[in-house]
Structure 1
């Protein structure tokens, strides 16, 4: 209690001194822009065909442009005007991991920012630009920049430097002043990155993320507040409003610099950089190309689309009672997700789990009868697992101590002393499985098969995967600076292998949180992490929409959030708990995403739940029925995702990219496929929303009114009380028959 009072007094003083605003100062390195000159023999304009691509070297300006035969008037990529396109450097980076958050301390020792292009070399399907970079320490660094045709709509770039010390690559390109940049995996607080410096690093998303005073206190106590760019699932890839797209294939830490008006830069913490430049005439084309590289997601099992996956915990009797309250009201429940199948523990953060992956038959007694009841109701069972293990000496009824087993077999990530690294989670610590060890992977897969699949689970949340230190050394010899981003990909791959090996790939599913570029190749579905149970745009319900839209452009086609959010804070002087209105609006939102799944949150007893009263239960039924009615439409969208990578939930510009107004829309509205517009209500006490309708005839779902829109679109104001979010569908579309009201 004394510590809470002290924190409260400190906060009060800061709020008074700062006038109610808390400012943070972060040391960040600016972009490095080089000068550029070219040799006398390449001062003319030169043309270099690259399959269907054309590279035009503008010698007098020492820069080049790339076009494509199918869209010859469109610049796919061009280097900066009056600046170089490459720079190099040497730096020392220290990183510190704490509860999945990373502190990066970077010191640049020297940079090489005088670019001299000495020649251009053609080879079959490739062009290489060669030269040197002059450094501020007087040295010269030879470079090679190669463009290679990889497909009809893809060029691969590769940058390398011939110098033993260089470990930073800076690639720059021209950006129009009014160009907007979207994608980058799951980005919660910001949709358009123009004007931003964006680090790409898998880590915890943060608690508050700029919402004050929560963020300040979370940082003060646990360094857990986070910032606007903290995310579990970043991807170094974008789609721009000028129909340009680039993907960095590097696994190292990297930073995008969009802070300049007319030039953008990618900074890669490596002496080599490799990536793709995509060509396309629409955002859909660019997403198609990107997902052909990183992998596409397969349709979810049909049962997941027919209703609610109820998140509940508390043991057999408690969960059964919660479930019964919904079934009696005829809520379409298709799945029961019990994350506490391993038993519960009380921590400083709330109710958490025992990370010893075996069924706790005391907590869930009468297991066979419990499974029989679910089977009779045609309800699938889902569980929870992650790649951590904990010491179970304080847990009774342990039949198999997995932590001790893994330690004895040498399966755990080790620290510098060769001992299992201790990861602090909340008020307990855990050890992490080293996924570079083939035997460890098979051991962990065997546990999932025995304890989840053989105990009747059809799916599970495959949590975590973001905490591997950047300076870790894996058993394989690979360093953490590259395997850190491979870890969540390998974790998803391991779970997919389980489904494949037990024959559940078509009927089973798992959903992951931490992810990187190639995670869509393996994951059944994604979820958006741990949103705060608030309305705000930093960490609340609005960030769930932003995360859906950004990640969909990066290949995360099937994504969703926890209905009601997850994180509650009830420690003095803070009190963030889920309100009934927020829960109702979140139910409405998730009915128009890929999965309709609830979560009780980290403090279930202090938050209102889906089963708390008749009003909420009735609301769940209504929107569960809508979700189920949309199953055929979503099935078509999921099949499209599997063949083209198109996301189920889409930003407005995905289909209306010629309309500049659509690029201004963030979380306010989105499209479910090509024929439905959803404007969720994301503010407390609001009963009216403004919806932007593109050209065409649109039917307002709740009133049945048809609105005809000419040419470039218009905003309409619609009544949107609880139970009636802004929902429109295009007249004549197949989905209209599903959505027509009696």
Structure 2
């Protein structure tokens, strides 16, 4: 084990004799000669886990850490935590299908001070084994088990930059992903001056779970901050910031079966409303007249449209990063006059309206024109989180501060649901972005519980509130919301995810490539319906400054938008976003050629609808994602294990997007099968091989399995595929 591991030079001591126990289908073996504990599912001959021989597999300590918040980012400053290095196993008891191991933790065998620990194992069903670790007088638990040196580890929620996290050490904490995330020198500037650069491991929607290439899986039931250490090629270490650790191990013969088992815990996402994927969802701002004029432009190019997403329905404000919104959740009738007339005009064309909400509130006094002051209402009822002085805790966003709803208060949850019903649903919208949810500070005072217990739970409850408001209004299955923050159980409540704010760049750290990685990793974590802002969101040019600084000033270029449009047509949801600096970013209506390109891929997205809805039904029933890691269908082909920039749409389409500028040819991997190139109709009889194809603008790498339903579906209109 590596030197910086918590378990380095640790030891396991026991006089308990070797024994074998049967917990349903699970065979649990304790080997006293090797000082090793192992569990195997004997029905499928798959090992769930094995502890390192002779080394401690569970340690506990009392630690101190300060977790500081800034703009939704968190810095963990931990005083050195000392873990005792000797684990003693003193007894093993088996009764009523529950297996209990007990012992003490000591600095050494001669030490007088000790801390008792226990491990309980029991079968949940024929696939899942539940383990419960506890130790006395501690707030840190560390658990270690063996891994194969070549074993790949995927999942961990929505990971945006690295798909296979073997060899990495990283936190599981819902937070802003960052601006740059390793793109330099931008990240250094953002971290130095704003603490907002993030890292490769920052995520809005992480989760303490994984699947591996050995077809086994793990999911923790805990909500507290935790860290995984996979830097040692032969072991996995999970450190959880609590005095207990409840988790599940499972294994399966096939990868898709692993996802079915995993999503029993995470929950599964429902089929989207029928209207939602009939065409593009157009994200624009600017008021009623602009929506009407934009619609005319889109109709001139025969763009199929399912909705207009108007995030500025509450009015706009200018901030340090560009244009943002007034977080007082009511319709701004000066900004959107004739709202109902506009809605009725669109609905007559089967186009719907969508809007926006988040769990923050700002005092609208500065805005001036408002009917309800939701900030004041929430403050008077005690529905906002408080600081240590008992005052409303104001959290800095960009150049303004906002108050965060206290979702640990059941009455606050009831109140914000009423706001959703009275303020959003009453306007006739069919959906909204349910933004944020990551920013709960660790020094906040809550109605119940602690921030340590609530921080990662907050995104789950935020999604639950939105879903319940829809159900209580009698609109389940007709209205959707999409959220970016999440944790383990978020798929149980969310109707749709999006991947947050990607940099308008080509980078894998933060940009179009990170959007592809995020889709694949989230799909392996139970998030079956996910998508991104077409073209990216974050521009880093200085507002009102005409010059750009190389490698610092990013904004959406024309080619980037073209390529982002292409790959988004093969995902769950086809939605545009103007970005944080609309005037600097190239938009879909920049010229006729660009708009024609957008119309073509919106039609391809529309044409894929029957196939995509079948995939949605699979997602709801089995937890299978729409965008899939190729390993899910080709688990015996090691070449696909580390493919992180190409994916499958269901089981019948291979998608290899063009993710670099100035590219005319594309190298990609075709797994075994007869694959029809979507654009030339050439059939490639592949045994699993790398190929190079022509991939000019308008022709990303897309291959359809010959003779399948989707192959027949896409051959109906050759005009789209020339």
Normalised to the residue count of structure 1, the TM-score between the two structures is: 0.94
Q: Distance in 2 between matches of 1:33 and 1:56?
A: 24
Partner in structure 2 of residue 554 of structure 1: 525
* Secondary structure at 1:592 match in 2: coil
Summarize the alignment of residues 10-409 of structure 1 with structure 2, pairs less than 5 Å apart: 30-33=5-8, 35-42=10-17, 44=18, 46-72=19-45, 74-135=46-107, 139-162=113-136, 164=137, 166-409=138-381
Deviation at 1:69, TM superposition (A): 2.1
305-314 or 732-741: bigger deviation: 732-741
* Secondary structure at 1:446 match in 2: helix
354-363 or 278-287: bigger deviation: 278-287
Partner in structure 1 of residue 610 of structure 2: 632
Q: Distance in 2 between matches of 1:60 and 1:549?
A: 42
Deviation at 1:368, TM superposition (A): 2.3
Q: Tell me: CA distance 1:138–1:96, structure 2 relative to 1, closer, same or farther (3 Å).
A: farther
Q: Distance in 2 between matches of 1:641 and 1:289?
A: 13
Q: Distance in 2 between matches of 1:418 and 1:34?
A: 46
Q: Distance in 1 between matches of 2:112 and 2:562?
A: 64
* Secondary structure at 1:284 match in 2: helix
Q: Distance in 2 between matches of 1:124 and 1:473?
A: 42
Deviation at 1:36, TM superposition (A): 3.4
Summarize the alignment of residues 423-438 of structure 1 with structure 2, pairs less than 5 Å apart: 423-438=395-410
Deviation at 1:375, TM superposition (A): 1.4
Can you list the C-alpha shifts for 1:13-45, whole angstroms capped at 9, x where unaligned? xxxxxxxxxxxxxxx974334633443341x3x
Partner in structure 2 of residue 3 of structure 1: none
Partner in structure 1 of residue 425 of structure 2: 453
* Secondary structure at 2:335 match in 1: coil
Q: Is the CA contact (8 Å cut-off) linking 1:133 and 1:140 kept in structure 2?
A: yes
Q: Is the CA contact (8 Å cut-off) linking 1:36 and 1:62 kept in structure 2?
A: no
Partner in structure 1 of residue 596 of structure 2: 618
Can you list the C-alpha shifts for 1:245-302, whole angstroms capped at 9, x where unaligned? 1111111100001011211110011111110001211221111111011210011012
Q: Is the CA contact (8 Å cut-off) linking 1:310 and 1:333 kept in structure 2?
A: yes
Partner in structure 1 of residue 496 of structure 2: 525
Q: Distance in 2 between matches of 1:389 and 1:317?
A: 28
Q: Is the CA contact (8 Å cut-off) linking 2:158 and 2:206 kept in structure 1?
A: yes
1:681 equivalent to 2:658? Answer yes
Partner in structure 2 of residue 7 of structure 1: none
102-111 or 256-265: bigger deviation: 102-111
Q: Is the CA contact (8 Å cut-off) linking 1:34 and 1:86 kept in structure 2?
A: no
Can you list the C-alpha shifts for 1:442-461, whole angstroms capped at 9, x where unaligned? 22111111221111101000
Q: Is the CA contact (8 Å cut-off) linking 2:501 and 2:537 kept in structure 1?
A: yes
In structure 2, list runs of 5 or more residues that go unmatched.
543-547
Can you list the C-alpha shifts for 1:181-207, whole angstroms capped at 9, x where unaligned? 100011011111111001100000000
Q: Tell me: CA distance 1:358–1:448, structure 2 relative to 1, closer, same or farther (3 Å).
A: same
* Alignment counterpart, residue 731 of structure 1, candidates 693, 702, 706: 706
Partner in structure 2 of residue 514 of structure 1: 485
Q: Distance in 2 between matches of 1:97 and 1:103?
A: 7
Q: Distance in 2 between matches of 1:168 and 1:414?
A: 27
* Alignment counterpart, residue 491 of structure 1, candidates 445, 462, 467: 462
Q: Is the CA contact (8 Å cut-off) linking 1:33 and 1:172 kept in structure 2?
A: no
In structure 1, list runs of 5 or more residues that go unmatched.
1-27
Q: Tell me: CA distance 1:506–1:41, structure 2 relative to 1, closer, same or farther (3 Å).
A: closer
Q: Is the CA contact (8 Å cut-off) linking 2:388 and 2:443 kept in structure 1?
A: no
1:666 equivalent to 2:644? Answer yes
63-72 or 641-650: bigger deviation: 63-72
1:698 equivalent to 2:675? Answer yes
* Secondary structure at 1:151 match in 2: coil
1:542 equivalent to 2:513? Answer yes
Can you list the C-alpha shifts for 1:498-526, whole angstroms capped at 9, x where unaligned? 11011111111000011000000000000
Partner in structure 1 of residue 545 of structure 2: none
Query: Across the two proteins, how many residue pairs are aligned to each other?
Result: 706
Q: Distance in 2 between matches of 1:261 and 1:294?
A: 28
* Alignment counterpart, residue 558 of structure 2, candidates 541, 555, 580: 580
Can you list the C-alpha shifts for 1:210-264, whole angstroms capped at 9, x where unaligned? 1011111111221100010011000000001111211111111000010112111
Deviation at 1:135, TM superposition (A): 2.8
1:462 equivalent to 2:434? Answer yes
Q: Distance in 2 between matches of 1:473 and 1:280?
A: 43
Deviation at 1:108, TM superposition (A): 2.8
Provide the alpha-carbon RMSD of the alignment. 1.4
* Secondary structure at 1:606 match in 2: coil
Partner in structure 1 of residue 686 of structure 2: 709
Normalised to the residue count of structure 2, the TM-score between the two structures is: 0.96
* Secondary structure at 1:303 match in 2: helix
Can you list the C-alpha shifts for 1:663-712, whole angstroms capped at 9, x where unaligned? 12112x100001110000000011211221111111111010111123xx
Q: Is the CA contact (8 Å cut-off) linking 2:161 and 2:514 kept in structure 1?
A: yes
Q: Distance in 2 between matches of 1:580 and 1:277?
A: 47
